[in-house]
Structure 1
Amino acid sequence: MDNLTHSLVGALLGQAGLKRRTGLAMPALIFGANLPDIDAGCVVYGIESLAMRRGLTHGPIAWVLLPLLLAGFLWWFDRWQATRRTRPEDRLPVHFGWLYLLAFVGCLSHPALDWMNSYGIRLLEPFSSRWFYGDTLFIIDVWIWAAMIFAFVFSRRIEKRGTGNWRRPALLGLVAVLGYINFNMVVTATARAQTPQAEAIASPVPLAFWARDMIIEVDGPIYRGKAKQRWTLGQGLSDDYTLLTDQPACIHPLQLPMFAHDDAEVRAFLFWSRAPYVEREDRDGRMVDVLKDARFDGRFEVEVDVPAEAEECYFE
């Protein structure tokens, strides 16, 4: 999920009452909820970063070590402010144990949310490189934003006025988001059950949480290609599907390592990709094969240099 969603989860956990456990509790929760995304720096490696993201920093070892580092920094920061006489007088006493526990809770919320979308996460890295997919939420969900922002703002206003239970709106906001997530799980499970293809991927649709784009495979004369078929709650699966490529290449993604075994970008892409397909495109008068993933409509792609004499039709 996006970092605003992760931050709001940490903030609501704090407003639900956890921020009263120790000084600097809110930074521990909010920063902790974003800690696993320290691997975002690997984007400097371009396409190869697809194989680096959502792995080691999202796995069990990171769940333990990253909160420990954050708690240590916050504890040191409190002591540093005290020695400089800049520590706020209204800050609660800082307890390292609570800092670590809150950072740990925030950190755990991150992979739990990342698992919800179709991008995937390697939950067991470094013990296993298997990808896990929840297919439940789009990576940016404005309905979750709206619910959590409203709950947080309402909670803070009540707290400042001192006129009621300021924890309740935050708790209700978290319960509402959990209910929304569970509803979306049911939507995804129903869409899968009503799609004939067992290998179909249920891809959440932006804004339309009641719909799923079912990624399926369709056969052509000499190729197998990817297509999307819309499923909607209450209406079921549409009769038509949309091909993701106008000019499918004769090369199947499983053949690519034979031709591009020394290409680090292709290896990384295939390791990350869940629904790879190859499209033949005319680029500046030159026909090239482009490796894409059906989940993202070509937003990630790698040009594959396949020698003309090596091309074979995999499905002939």
Structure 2
Amino acid sequence: MDNLTHSLVGWALAETGLKRRTRKGLAATVLAANLPDIDVFFGWVPWPPLAMHRGFTHGLIGGVLVLPPVLAILLWLLDRWQARRGRLADDSPPMRFGWLLALCWIGALTHPLLDLQNVYAIQLLSPASARWFHTDGLFIISPWLLAMLGLGIWRARRHGRRQPAILALAGTALFIGGNIGISALAWAAPTRDAPYAAPDRIFAGPEPLLFWRRDVVWRQNGFIVQGRYDPLRRLEGLVDVGAPMADRMQEPLVRRAAQATAPARKFLAWSQMPVARVEQGHCRAVVTFGDARFTGPAMSRNFNAVVTLPVDGAGCGGG
């Protein structure tokens, strides 16, 4: 999810009364709710679980167990520094490190729970497993969640009561739960009705505003198929199905390109439904790797990796 949503969830948690448990309570929940995204600064490291965005820092070990104590210690040191210089508000609650640590853990837990909801997925068990998990319950930026959380926080602060924040969080949980149920129906739709598919991998990406609609993409026997699901039009079937498209990932030239460069290897380690386009030229071939999750009409943001390979041919030299 976007960092504004992560921040609002942490803020709403604080407004339920948790921020009064210790000094730096609000900072703990908001910063911890964003903490796993620190991995964007470590793409250069040689350890793949950390270099991979939504890998180690988004898992139960790195993001939920390891990072929160680090944040709690930093906030505690900041508080001591401010106390020595007399920069603490007179009406601030006492510093309770146990509560500070608990709030960091609570805030950090919300991050993988939210990121789990969209088709980008997370490596929840990293580094023990590189498996990607997803529920497809939310678009990467949900205006519905932003409005719900923002209203709850505003009313909680305006009236000095925690109930609006609690209701906003409860509404968020119900909204996500309902959308997971819709995605489960969308996953089943290609198998229950035409084209009666048997996917080995399937995603159902929600739309941002019309949240009940899904862009469905699945892989079967080396082919990618895209469709659309709308439970208001057809509950157990797709409303539109595209023609199968070969992913070309088993072609010798594509397999060679997949190992040819570090960016290609890194992209394919992240990609969960890779596809390849091959442009054959004189003495060279250009292989473009994409991800079928993001090549549909509504999922148009294009992530790719391009590899140029020399090929044998008349007049190409060598051989």
Q: Distance in 1 between matches of 2:303 and 2:166?
A: 38
Q: Distance in 2 between matches of 1:175 and 1:254?
A: 49
Q: Distance in 2 between matches of 1:207 and 1:282?
A: 41
Q: Distance in 2 between matches of 1:274 and 1:233?
A: 26
Structure 1 residue matching 2:190: 3-state secondary structure:
coil
Q: Distance in 1 between matches of 2:125 and 2:187?
A: 25
Q: Distance in 2 between matches of 1:195 and 1:263?
A: 36
Backbone CA RMSD of aligned residues: 2.7
Aligned pairs for 1:75-94 within 5 A: 75-94=76-95
Aligned pairs for 1:172-211 within 5 A: 172-196=167-191, 197-199=197-199, 200-211=202-213
**Residue in structure 2 matched with residue 163 of structure 1 by the alignment:** none
Residue 205 (structure 1) shift: 2.0
Q: Is residue 212 from structure 1 mapped to residue 214 from structure 2 by the alignment?
A: yes
Aligned pairs for 1:44-59 within 5 A: 52-59=52-59
Residue 40 (structure 1) shift: 1.3
Q: Distance in 1 between matches of 2:115 and 2:22?
A: 28
Structure 1 residue matching 2:204: 3-state secondary structure:
strand
Q: Which amino acid aligns with 2:52?
A: M
Structure 1 segments unaligned to the other structure (5+ residues): 160-165, 311-316
Residue 83 (structure 1) shift: 1.0
Q: Distance in 2 between matches of 1:119 and 1:68?
A: 27
Q: Is residue 120 from structure 1 mapped to residue 115 from structure 2 by the alignment?
A: no
**Residue in structure 2 matched with residue 162 of structure 1 by the alignment:** none
Does the CA-based 8 Å contact 1:117-1:139 persist in structure 2?
yes
- The count of aligned residue pairs is 293
Does the CA-based 8 Å contact 1:7-1:31 persist in structure 2?
yes
Change (3 A) 1:141 1:239: closer
Q: Which amino acid aligns with 1:106?
A: G
With normalisation by structure 1, the TM-score equals: 0.84
Q: Which amino acid aligns with 1:304?
A: V
Q: Which amino acid aligns with 1:229?
A: G
Structure 2 residue matching 1:195: 3-state secondary structure:
helix
Does the CA-based 8 Å contact 2:229-2:240 persist in structure 1?
no
Q: Which amino acid aligns with 1:177?
A: T
Change (3 A) 1:79 1:269: same
Q: Which amino acid aligns with 1:15?
A: E
Q: Distance in 2 between matches of 1:212 and 1:254?
A: 31
Q: With a CA cutoff of 8 Å and minimum separation of 6, indicate the structure with the bigger relative contact order.
A: 1
Aligned pairs for 1:96-111 within 5 A: 96-111=97-112
Work out which of the residue numbers 300, 305, 308 in structure 2 matches 1:305: 308
Change (3 A) 1:215 1:264: same
Deviations 1:54-108 (A, max 9, x none): 1111223322221111111111111111111122111111111100000000011
With normalisation by structure 2, the TM-score equals: 0.83
**Residue in structure 1 matched with residue 291 of structure 2 by the alignment:** 293
Work out the percentage of aligned pairs sharing the same amino acid. 40
Q: Which amino acid aligns with 1:300?
A: F
Deviations 1:213-238 (A, max 9, x none): 1113589xxxx543421100121244
Does the CA-based 8 Å contact 2:156-2:165 persist in structure 1?
yes
Q: Which amino acid aligns with 1:271?
A: A
